Structure 1
Amino acid sequence: MKALFAAALLLGSFSQAFAQTPDIEALPVSTIFVTSSGMWEREPADDAAKPTEPAQNNPTARAEPTRGYYKVVAMRQGDGTAKIYLQQIAYTADGPALVDTLELEEFTQMKAYVTDIRPESSAGASSLPGLFVTVHLKTDPAQKEPDAWTILIDELGDMKIEKASN
């Protein structure tokens, strides 16, 4: 009887786990690495900062800045190489929202075989704007050790991609 009860609990937990995975099923199977890291903040545009009708009664009311984080995604291509994308994700009241996606052409031109992508820190969201991610890749699949490249975005939003120097 105990074995039957344990099996029923196990099956119930599996069916519940599968029922809660619709978002992950939308992720393409060609996605090989996803790293969320860094932080960005943008002040509201002048026209967006103008008070709306109800806020006109409050002279100190102004629009909140837009904030979010970066996501670096590697997608495997048919030939085994990868394309790497940088995304800006905004924090919204309804959850994360995609702001922009940019293919990082430097990696596409290398025809890179991506072996890992790591953030600067695994401590969670940064309180300072910017991004620092290391991409480990091979330009030849027979290469013994991967090369390390960094993606750096400074506090002003300027991006630099360069070979890592240890």
Structure 2
Amino acid sequence: MMRIYGIALIAAAAAACPMTVQAEDVLPANITFVTSSGFWEDSGDPSAVLDPQAKPATAATPEGTGQKGYYKLIALRQPDGTAHIVLQQIALDPAGPKIVSSAELDEFSKMKAFVTDIRPESSDGVTQQPGLFATVYLRTDPAATDIETWTVLIDELGDIRIERESN
């Protein structure tokens, strides 16, 4: 009897507070691909990876409490069908993941790429080495049948390289 009462109470609460999540509230329609991969860790300004010349934040991380997190690559579809690729650094915060920095990867924007996929090096979870290795599949001509393959590499020092793969 008590169990039925508990289930009825939960059902009533759910009916009284319906959760209406709209698709556009979760992810904007112009985001075509997202991958999270790699990791970073430092004791200073985490945005230094994306902009080494940037001035440190005024409220820098206290000594010895370095931040760590992962990277996210996002393809944002533009009105003309091409995509801009954005690299984000996501900090692992006790309150949940937090975007620390974002930077558009101009190399892709300049080539007016039609992105067809973005994949991490591995889907096994967290890598053992700091950095990022991801592959971006694209066309520079929407009518082309061949796909170009580009890699986005961030080494353990935070240096970013974008290179076309060659077989």
- The aligned residue for residue 152 of structure 2 is 151
TM-superposed CA distance for 1:44, in Å, is: 3.9
- The Cα offsets for residues 13-46 of structure 1, whole Å up to 9 and x where unpaired, read as xx9xx8374686242110000000000001147x
Alignment of 1:56-95 (within 5 A): 63-95=64-96
Percentage identity across paired residues of the two chains:
52
Are 2:61 and 2:67, in contact at CA under 8 Å, matched by a contact in 1? no
Q: Structure 1 residues 141 and 126 mapped into 2: Cα distance closer, same or farther (>3 Å)?
A: same
Mapped to 2, the partners of 1:92 and 1:152 lie a distance apart of 24
- The aligned residue for residue 42 of structure 2 is 42
Partner AA of 1:30 in structure 2: N
Partner AA of 2:74 in structure 1: V
Mapped to 1, the partners of 2:125 and 2:24 lie a distance apart of 21
Mapped to 2, the partners of 1:70 and 1:20 lie a distance apart of 30
Tell me the TM-score normalized by structure 1. Answer: 0.76
Q: Mind listing any 5+ residue stretches in structure 1 that lack a counterpart?
A: 1-14, 51-62
- The Cα offsets for residues 76-119 of structure 1, whole Å up to 9 and x where unpaired, read as 00000000000000000000000000000000000000000000
Query: How many residues are paired up?
Result: 137
RMSD: 2.1
Mapped to 1, the partners of 2:71 and 2:94 lie a distance apart of 18
- The aligned residue for residue 8 of structure 2 is none
- The aligned residue for residue 3 of structure 1 is none
1:29 maps onto 2:29 in alignment = yes
TM-superposed CA distance for 1:145, in Å, is: 1.8
TM-superposed CA distance for 1:65, in Å, is: 1.4
Tell which structure's C-alpha radius of gyration is larger: 1
- The aligned residue for residue 161 of structure 1 is 162
